Structure 1
Amino acid sequence: MSGDERKKYYVSVQAGQILRDQGAASYELEVLANDEEFNQLQVMFEDLSSMDEAITGHYNYAVGTLQDLPSDKRMNAGYDAILRDIYLFIHEHGTETTRKHVEAMGILDPGRL
């Protein structure tokens, strides 16, 4: 099988998973991707998980303070940017049903679609 051949994957953004087997776990979206694109999406999910861990650690450190720390907005903006990139990727590589679902969510800038 060539690395350029597109295969169907089942994606759970909430769980941060890309599944090859439709029945392996619950999923929300379907994409068609080659090996390189699969790896690209996997890296984005790893980045999102790392950012989530950093935010969680940051808030655990800040427990008891009543003020937002200066980096809160930057961290949240970074998380949101990665999440938007994931949904943009899913939209670009998704099935017709997936693309319509992502568009209906209204989280992507229509100029980027």
Structure 2
Amino acid sequence: MEKKPYYIAVGSGEILEPEDVTGNFEFEILATEEEVDQLQEVFEELAMNEEDTAVRAMIPFREYHLDKENDVYDWNLTELYRMLHELGTPDTKRHIEAMNVLPPQ
């Protein structure tokens, strides 16, 4: 399959095609439609995880690092950045590496 450019807005969970870009994106990737579908699944998981962590936040005296909901959210967020790094342009790869969000390999 042919890879096409896509533009990613992590905060809003958007995957934009070139004709849809208005300047509001953080990362550029080159991906097949299948890879974009996988990325969309991770965004959907993150959205569900955000709801779980919001509910958990209402429980007093429960520390962040002892919370499975936060662990799942963190894992999915790391997976998102791993995928963006893998599919990213050289600029995207450098930016993600500078963010220091991926575990050492």
Runs of 4+ deviating beyond 2 Å: 21-25, 57-60, 69-72
Change (3 A) 1:17 1:70: closer
CA 1:8–1:50: 2 relative to 1, 3 Å: same
Task: Normalising by structure 2, report the TM-score.
Answer: 0.89
Correspondence list, 1:73-84, <5 A: 73-84=67-78
Partner of 2:5: 8
List alignment gaps of at least 5 residues for structure 1.
Answer: none
Matched to 2:55, the amino acid is G
Structure 2, unaligned runs of 5 or more:
none
Q: Percent identity?
A: 36
Aligned pairs for 1:61-100 (under 5 A) are 62=59, 65=60, 67-68=61-62, 73-100=67-94
Rounded Cα–Cα distance in structure 1 between residues aligned with 2:56 and 2:30: 36
RMSD between aligned alpha carbons?
A: 2.0
Q: How does 1:41-60 map to 2 (within 5 A)?
A: 41-60=39-58
Q: Supply the distance in 2 between the matched residues of 1:86 and 1:55 (Cα, whole angstroms).
A: 17
CA distance in 2, matches of 1:40, 1:23: 21
